Every structure is written in C-alpha cells, then in structure tokens.
C-alpha cells in the first residue's frame, strides 16, 4: 500500500479506510500511543498500537527519532488535540534511534543548541515551519516571474568580476597552495591557474543579468552569492541567495512598481499556503517576546507585520526628504539614534530606516535618489550631478529589504564614473558593449532571499533561515 503523507491524512474524513503512513517518532506513551511526524506538517498523527500487537522487544525500539511505518484503519479520535487517529494493524521499524544518544528529545531546546545540531534541527516544529515557509517563498518567486514572462537566467557562480567593487570576494583557484607559481615580478602567476586569470565566487549576478536583459528584455536570477565579509553578526552570511531581476526598457518607476508587486505577491502566497506554519511562528514569537522587557517588545505580532506590508501601498520618498525628516525628528534631537543624522550625504543606518517605516510613515518605504558618492558605479546619474536613480525598499523591524536602481545606459557617463571609482574598464569591456550596441534604459534590483525569509518567519538570526549557514569559522556539513 502506498504511503499517504500525514498532512493529507489529517484532512481526511475517517471512514475506517486502510492507510499506510511513514515518519519519525516524536513521542511514544504507555507502550500504546505513537505521535508520528513526517515533516509535511507540524501536527502529529496519533498511531494507536493495540495491546498484544507487538512484542516487548519491538516496543522498546519505538523511541524518539526512530523511523517507522504503520498500516491500519483511520478512525475518529476521542482524544484531545486530534480529530483522527490510526489504529495500527502492522508497525515496522525502519530505522532505530538510540534514546541515550539522540539529541532532539521531546522538550524545549534553545536556538543556540539547535544551531550546534543543525543537521537534526529540521525535525523540530520551529525549523519544520521555517523551511516549509522558505520553500513556499522560493516557489512563489519563480511563479511570479514566470507568470510575468520573465526568463530565468543562470548567471555564473565562478566569475572574474566583482560587481560591487567591494573586493570582499572568495578566490577560486586550482593551484597547489603549497607551491603557488610566481612570475618574474614575484607576483602570483594567474596565467597558470585553471582559468588563466584571477577568479572568485560571485557577489552578484547583476552585471551578467544585464547582458541577458539586453536581448531577452526581462530576466531574473535566483541563486547563491558569496561575500568574504568577516562579520559574525545575526544579519550576515558568507553564502546567501539573491533574487535579481533586470528589465530592458524600464525606468526607476517601473523598477519600484515591480519590486513592490513582488513583495506583496510572495508574502501573500505564504500567508495563503502556510497559514498553519505562520500561526505557529506567530505564537512562538509571542512567547519569545514575553521574556523581553516591555520597552523592547514589538508593537505588532508576526501576522500583523506581514499584513502591515501587504495591505499598505509603499511610501515613495527621496533621500533628501528622508534626511530632513530624520534631522528634525525628536529621536534625533534627543540623541536617541546611535548615529545622529546631521548632514546630507550620510549613509543611513538600519535604525534610521526603521524609524522612517515604523514611527514616521507607518508603512513600508521606498527611498530614491541617493547621493552618488555612496552608491555603485552602474547607477544612472541624475541631472543634478549629485544623486543617482537608486532605490531601497525599507520594511519594519528589518530595515532594507531591496536595493536597486535604474542602470546608467550612457557610455560616456558610465565610463567616467568607472574611472572616478577606479573600476578597471579593461576587465569589463563585455559589460560596456551593452552600452555600445543598442543601449536602452534599463533597471533592476536585488532582494536577499534570507532577509525575506527572516522577515516572513519572524526569526531574528539569519543563520536560522538557511539550512546550512556559512559564517566566519563555520563551514559544517
């Protein structure tokens, strides 16, 4: 008999139909009641073993973490907490679990403990919910772009460019590290390396994405990116996933419209398809908040935060307007900001972004027209000579969710800006060709996928929303 997933079983009307389920034991009570879970839902199915069905030796093997298969009749449950239960006809132990060694016992575990046992944390309710939500968000991203006629472009993971110009890249080499060849000047001779040049893991698929957009009109990338930034914080990962659309014949307004529509769509998708998981995570966050002083507690619970973002049209504000709002705010005047806002041109911090969203506008905010000096070389320059057509989307409790811009399509201005920022034009001739041959206005943005999952699940540490986090001094599995 083919297996039925527990989520589907729990939705059936019990008619004594015969069903086979397979999963992992959460608890086993009184040598009679198995709480079985297969990861399709946080809810367990109660499997009832009638007295005499199994011998003592087999009963002792039904321990927390063991994998079992059970076939029996589905009946209405008289017990609390479930509507149906399975009265077993046969129970098979598929995989034993030593109760003395299995670390995920049926009790409350700290997130720190679960990070140390990340290979098993998927079996807990919290991480089951997180990764089902993550899956739904990823699927929704692909569905959104597919339904809009975008082409999914696989941009390279190994590249010779540094899109951001930050230099915080992971080098890729085939050299014997104990015998690295040098040239006559004593420098590393990359001509002898596998690719014949210096290469690294990608920090962004944007530049290659622009090449696709200049022929296919609308493309998006969704893949891993890497930053060798030595930041051991709750917001940083060395390996993370990025969603990066690029659109030809599109200006900053079209870029903002698309980003806002995408965020509304994917959050609504999760609310609709992961209600059970989001309800669980909302309750989990409420319990966590109770441990904090009143002043540190969020004004909204998780569900309210999500509905706050999908029910509001995002406020569009220039950087210059935002600076004035922040400078004149009581928060700034009373020196409640850690970094005070005193002059135009400063790079806004997360605390400033959150103030604009949570205190001033009370809705998500799109900031545009940033100072040229604090933005990347490829952003389209405004006529004022001081600002660029950049945009950042700011969310409550998290700050920046999206960063993007209209790209500079004018070859002379792009080349001049590259020179000013010491970006080596000779290494990016292929990129400049898109401005030489059929240039047009175009735009795009980047959305850090883990930051999105962090927001939708209400978690506070980014290491808890990616299956296998890569951070300084940590590369397990």
Calculate the alpha carbon distances from 107 to 26, 27, 40, 103, 125 in Å: 10, 10, 21, 10, 11
pTM confidence score: 0.94
In this structure, the answer to whether residues 73 and 133 fall within a common structural domain is no
In this structure, the answer to whether residues 286 and 338 fall within a common structural domain is yes
Is 168 within a domain?
no
In this structure, the answer to whether residues 91 and 139 fall within a common structural domain is no
Please count the structural domains in the chain: 2
Is 395 within a domain?
yes
pLDDT the model gives residue 231:
84
| Strands of the 365-371 sheet, one edge to the other | 151-152, 218-226, 239-248, 442-448, 399-407, 387-395, 365-371, 315-318
Tell me: pLDDT of 165 over 90: no
Domain limit, last residue, from 76, 105, 134: 105
Query: How do residues 34-93 score in pLDDT, each as one tens digit?
Result: 999 999 999 999 999 999 999 999 999 999 999 999 999 999 998 787 899 999 999 999
Q: How far apart are the first and last CA of the chain?
A: 35
3-class DSSP assignment, residue 474 = strand
Is 375 within a domain?
yes
pLDDT the model gives residue 123:
95
CATH of the domain at 63: 2.40.50.140
CATH of the domain at 217: 3.30.930.10
Token pair for residue 340?
Answer: 């005070």
Range of the domain at 390: 123-153+213-223+239-464
Q: Which of 165-174, 177-186, 244-253 has the lowest mean pLDDT?
A: 165-174
pLDDT the model gives residue 166:
59
In this structure, the answer to whether residues 363 and 337 fall within a common structural domain is yes
What is the 3-class SS of 53-83, one letter each residue?
CCCHHHHHCCCCCCEEEEEEEEEECCCCCCC
Select from 286, 263, 252 the least CA-distant residue to 396: 263
In this structure, the answer to whether residues 404 and 303 fall within a common structural domain is yes
pLDDT the model gives residue 325:
97
Query: How do residues 220-236 score in pLDDT, each as one tens digit?
Result: 999 999 999 888 888 88
Distance CA 399, CA 265 (A): 19
Say if CB 129 and CB 277 are below 8 A apart.
Answer: yes
- The conformation of residue 381, written as its DSSP 8-state character, comes to B
In this structure, the answer to whether residues 252 and 391 fall within a common structural domain is yes
Is 185 within a domain?
no
Is 111 within a domain?
no
Say if CB 197 and CB 158 are below 8 A apart.
Answer: no
Is 172 within a domain?
no
In this structure, the answer to whether residues 81 and 136 fall within a common structural domain is no
Query: How do residues 365-416 score in pLDDT, each as one tens digit?
Result: 999 999 999 999 999 999 999 999 999 999 998 899 999 999 999 999 999 9
Average pLDDT of the segment spanning 110-133: 95
Confidence of residue 163 (pLDDT cuts 50, 70, 90): low
Is 217 within a domain?
yes
Token pair for residue 317?
Answer: 């504000």
In this structure, the answer to whether residues 251 and 346 fall within a common structural domain is yes
% of the chain exceeding 90 in pLDDT: 89
In this structure, the answer to whether residues 53 and 147 fall within a common structural domain is no
Average pLDDT of the segment spanning 180-197: 94
Confidence of residue 161 (pLDDT cuts 50, 70, 90): confident
3-class DSSP assignment, residue 109 = coil
Distance CA 15, CA 18 (A): 9
In this structure, the answer to whether residues 127 and 101 fall within a common structural domain is no
Mean predicted lDDT score pLDDT of the chain = 95
Residues 6+ apart with CB under 8 A from 18: 1, 71, 72, 73, 74, 89
For helices 275-289 and 449-457, give the axis angle rounded to 10 degrees.
70
In this structure, the answer to whether residues 217 and 101 fall within a common structural domain is no
Is 204 within a domain?
no
3-class DSSP assignment, residue 61 = coil
Where do we find the tokens 């034009």?
425
H helices within 379-467, ranges in order?
Answer: 411-420, 429-436, 449-457
In this structure, the answer to whether residues 53 and 131 fall within a common structural domain is no
Tally the C-alpha atoms within 13 A of residue 299's C-alpha that lie toward its C-beta.
Answer: 8
């Amino acid at each position: 008999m083919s297996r039925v997933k527990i989520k589907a079983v729990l939705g059936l009307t019990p008619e004594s139909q015969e069903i086979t389920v397979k999963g992992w034991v959460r608890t086993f009570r009184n040598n009679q009641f198995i709480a079985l879970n297969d990861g399709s839902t946080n809810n367990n199915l109660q499997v009832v073993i009638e007295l005499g069905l199994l011998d003592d030796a087999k009963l002792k093997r039904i321990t927390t973490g063991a994998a079992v298969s059970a076939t029996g009749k589905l009946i209405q449950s008289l017990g609390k907490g479930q509507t149906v239960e399975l009265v077993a006809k046969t129970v098979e132990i598929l995989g034993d679990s030593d109760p003395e060694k299995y670390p995920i016992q049926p009790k409350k575990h700290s997130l720190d403990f679960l990070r140390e046992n990340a290979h098993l944390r998927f079996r807990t309710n919290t991480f089951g919910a997180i990764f089902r939500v993550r899956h739904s968000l990823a699927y929704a991203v692909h569905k959104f772009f597919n339904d809009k006629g975008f082409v999914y472009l696989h941009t390279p993971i190994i590249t010779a460019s540094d899109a951001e110009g930050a230099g915080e890249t992971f080098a890729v080499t085939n050299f014997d590290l104990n015998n690295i060849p040098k040239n006559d000047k004593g420098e590393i001779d990359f001509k002898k390396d596998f690719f014949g040049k210096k290469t690294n893991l990608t920090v962004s698929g944007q530049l290659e994405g622009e090449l696709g957009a200049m022929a296919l009109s609308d493309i998006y990338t969704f893949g891993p990116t890497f930053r060798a930034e030595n930041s051991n914080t709750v917001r940083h990962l060395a390996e993370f996933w990025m969603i990066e659309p690029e659109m030809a014949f599109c200006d900053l307004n079209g870029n903002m419209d698309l980003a806002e529509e995408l965020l509304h769509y994917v959050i609504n998708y999760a609310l609709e398809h992961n209600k059970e998981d989001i309800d669980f995570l909302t309750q989990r966050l409420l319990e966590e908040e109770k441990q904090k002083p009143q002043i540190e507690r969020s004004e909204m619970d998780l569900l309210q935060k999500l509905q706050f973002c999908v029910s509001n049209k995002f406020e569009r504000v220039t950087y210059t307007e935002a600076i004035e709002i922040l400078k004149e705010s009581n928060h700034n005047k009373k020196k409640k900001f850690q970094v005070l806002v005193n002059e135009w041109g400063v790079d806004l911090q997360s605390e400033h972004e959150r103030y604009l969203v949570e205190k001033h506008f009370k809705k998500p905010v799109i900031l545009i027209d940033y100072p040229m000096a604090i933005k990347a070389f490829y952003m389209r320059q405004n006529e004022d000579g001081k600002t660029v057509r950049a945009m950042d989307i700011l969310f409550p409790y998290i700050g920046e969710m999206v960063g993007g811009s209209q790209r500079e399509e004018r070859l002379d201005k792009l080349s001049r800006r590259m020179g000013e920022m010491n970006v080596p034009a000779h290494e990016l001739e292929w990129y400049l060709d898109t401005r030489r041959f059929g240039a047009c206005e175009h735009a795009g943005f980047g959305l850090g996928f883990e930051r999105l999952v962090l927001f939708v699940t209400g978690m506070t540490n980014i290491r808890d929303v990616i299956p296998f986090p890569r951070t300084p001094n940590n590369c397990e599995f």
